Structure 1
């Protein structure tokens, strides 16, 4: 359940994400070069060879509870028997590659998995005209199955492969669901909320952006002062906040609306894992993948990106990464559809809305709220 990511799309495009799965008649896996001609697909799979270096965040590969990394490697190599998928998990994630590109040092990976809109803005701000990723979306045969409301890169570099909704998770044996943003500031909920630092954690930043979306740029700091006066606790990471919640230190935590999928698998009491959508909303965080501009393994990289959008992969990723699929032909199964909750009113910010604003919002929040 450890995520990153961030944005885009209209609320209309995101609405009903959980209810529109499996609506395609195409049952094929749809790897790279898939055109409906099985001979063409087989030829591409037979001829493509070499080692594909795919960089990502560590939880995608080695999360202790579940992660899709091992399954993706096995299935991709099964479809492309002459290829080898090699995962990389640099400590600083995509920032490692931003620094290398800025310094003019070579990039030792072909694909990056786990991009959010926030990171794209950082890339463009820090690298200017230097191209870290290359536009790729429209050349992928399976890209047409990506839900339009999830696309978040106006330059078509990052292709969505899943999405999550940041929400509240609460223990209803100890506290009622807040229901609204305003309720969280009332005496009834004093000392109940755990959240994450927006400078350090994707969930914390998403929750901050969610409050800005709700309260407005001119009023969000006043709202956070009310939260502070009501004894909100801000921790450095999602791991720290969720561990504190699990240990019973506080009954409400900012997390993901797929929490009950994990809880059900662990046999936990679901009353202690209720999903709270404030004002009927959840903050949408699509995750994307992209091809490095300097790759010398371009065709194999394209094959992997298309494989990630295939019906087979899109149906499996939700059960392993515990996040909503990005395509209209995914079939994640009964367990996921029962326990993964989607908000009635998804909200988010686009690339254009965040560029030039997000760092200022976060910095001002850090000065006035987090540092107190």
Structure 2
């Protein structure tokens, strides 16, 4: 998830809102600089190290990390591996010699593959919130939901108002003549939100109809770019581009709020969203599985969960976590996002991308 350093989002990365995120690069760099220690322990609450394998957009504050270490007596060693797709691949390839004790950042696009490969061992946290249980990847107990977010089309409200064009609402609207040449999305082969949007169209129109929908979009002047940054910061009209409809996140409008906090200049089309869930799991064969369990307990706790919206720009699963006021006012959670069974995604992801590329890119 390289987006926090303003790089293009890549496949398997997670979804983030449209904001200038350069400042967070320092936080990520610090998180990634921890070095592994050899004096791991298999005793809960004892001295030693717990190795936490994460994607490179994982953010934890110094205060939260210190709190974990004080509570457990363990040193948290954070090991970054690249974006979410790279994380999943590395965990599968190293399952017989795991990279650490616990992993965070496997999302619903890759969850089934990792579970089927035996990457994780079952663990149910005694502090698991109800929503985390509801968002379970399957019934194996191998993965624990930590956060979730929704990839959605966003619109520039001011553009539609000033041009006297009725704002679109649904996916079908984008194929209508009045919205010709107005939409920019990202390539599912190179972009996480692009992949999520592809899943949304499969979920909405089925395997027999999603390519027909994409053909209609293409016929209506759809623009496809490689990464989220290009779409939002180059082509979107709020950044000086000529496309007032862009693929982004349900949380993005919380970051285009006016100075007085009374309004936002963009909005998410909540009928176009695809939900992504991010999981943590104890790695099979870990040197310190008890420490890994303690990490999961901590990730579900109120302190870390309250950091998730501002640190990783997604929603926490703990209902007691603090949510920024801008999110409550301008980034509501979609009531009925499009969803696909993780097992179906795992089985068909590459074929869908291949077929999409042949149909849309040629």
Residues 1:177 and 2:162 aligned together = no
Query: Is this contact kept in 1: 2:104–2:279, CA < 8 A?
Result: yes
Look up the match of 1:113.
104
Query: Is this contact kept in 1: 2:121–2:282, CA < 8 A?
Result: yes
Residues 1:221 and 2:211 aligned together = yes
Q: In the aligned structure 1, how far is the partner of 2:267 from the partner of 2:91?
A: 43
Look up the match of 2:55.
57
Query: Is this contact kept in 1: 2:158–2:266, CA < 8 A?
Result: no
2:313 alignment partner, one of 314, 319, 322: 322
Provide closer, same or farther for how the CA distance between residues 151 and 100 of structure 1 changes in structure 2, counting only shifts above 3 A.
closer
SS where residue 255 of structure 1 aligns?
strand
Q: In the aligned structure 1, how far is the partner of 2:180 from the partner of 2:56?
A: 35
Look up the match of 1:24.
none
Most deviating of 347-356 and 210-219: 347-356
Question: What does 1:266-305 correspond to in 2, within 5 Å?
Answer: 271-277=264-270, 280-305=271-296
Residues 1:194 and 2:179 aligned together = no
Provide closer, same or farther for how the CA distance between residues 265 and 134 of structure 1 changes in structure 2, counting only shifts above 3 A.
farther
Most deviating of 93-102 and 257-266: 93-102
Residues 1:356 and 2:347 aligned together = yes
Provide closer, same or farther for how the CA distance between residues 267 and 159 of structure 1 changes in structure 2, counting only shifts above 3 A.
farther
CA distances 1:262-316 after superposition (whole Å, capped 9, x unpaired): 2339889955322212xx3521111111121121111111111001111232233
Structure 1 residue 350: deviation in Å? Answer: 1.5
Query: Is this contact kept in 2: 1:100–1:106, CA < 8 A?
Result: no
1:207 alignment partner, one of 197, 206, 215: 197
Higher relative contact order (CA 8 A, sep 6+): 1
Gaps of 5+ in 1: 7-43, 62-67
Q: In the aligned structure 1, how far is the partner of 2:308 from the partner of 2:356?
A: 34
RMSD, aligned α-carbons: 2.9
Residues 1:345 and 2:336 aligned together = yes
SS where residue 58 of structure 2 aligns?
helix
Q: In the aligned structure 1, how far is the partner of 2:315 from the partner of 2:267?
A: 18
Aligned residues: 318
What TM-score comes out, normalization by structure 2 length?
0.78
Structure 1 residue runs of 4 or more that deviate by more than 4 Å after TM superposition: 1-6, 265-271
Look up the match of 1:230.
220
Q: In the aligned structure 2, how far is the partner of 1:157 from the partner of 1:73?
A: 24
